[in-house]
Structure formats: C-alpha cells, structure tokens
C-alpha cells in the first residue's frame, strides 16, 4: 500500500506506479481547484479494515506531508 514496487507492482492502469496510497491521495487532491485543496487535505477519512493496521495512520500522515 505504501511501496507497491516492493511486491512487483510497477504499473497501474498503463502508468508507472510512483508511490502508494498517500501518493494517490496527493495526486487526486492536487487536481482540484486551489481553493478546495486545504479543505480536502484537512478532511481525509481513513476507513476500512486495512487502516486498522498498527502505524497505518502515522505512516499515512507522514507520507502525506
């Protein structure tokens, strides 16, 4: 989820896979109007079973910054 290349994932949807889930969140938020970006960054919700892994929240926040 954080380093897809470690498990051999190098392309996603015909594009190079540069990073994990935090990278995808940043890329998505950066595509919207600049006046919305702050609100989107401040309102990210982590949901689902995988987000309960120990250290997931801390690592996600660190990589998001």
The mean pLDDT of 29-47, rounded to a whole number, is 94
Secondary structure of residue 50 in the 3-state scheme = helix
How many alpha carbons fall within 13 Å on the CB side of residue 24?
A: 11
Lowest average pLDDT, out of 2-6, 28-32, 57-61, goes to 2-6
The mean pLDDT of 47-51, rounded to a whole number, is 89
Structural domain spans, the chain: 4-64
pLDDT digits (tens, 9 = 90+) for 8-37: 655 555 454 556 788 888 989 999 999 999
The one-character DSSP state at 18 is -
> Is the pLDDT score of 43 beyond 70?
yes
CA distance 49 to 13: 25
Q: What pTM was computed for the model?
A: 0.67
CA distance 15 to 60: 22
């Amino acid at each position: 989820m954080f380093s897809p290349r470690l498990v051999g994932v190098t392309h996603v949807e015909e594009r190079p896979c540069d990073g994990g889930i935090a990278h995808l969140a940043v890329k998505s938020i950066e595509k919207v109007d600049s006046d919305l970006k702050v609100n989107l960054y401040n309102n990210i919700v982590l949901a689902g079973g995988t987000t309960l892994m120990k250290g997931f929240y801390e690592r996600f926040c660190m990589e998001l910054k």
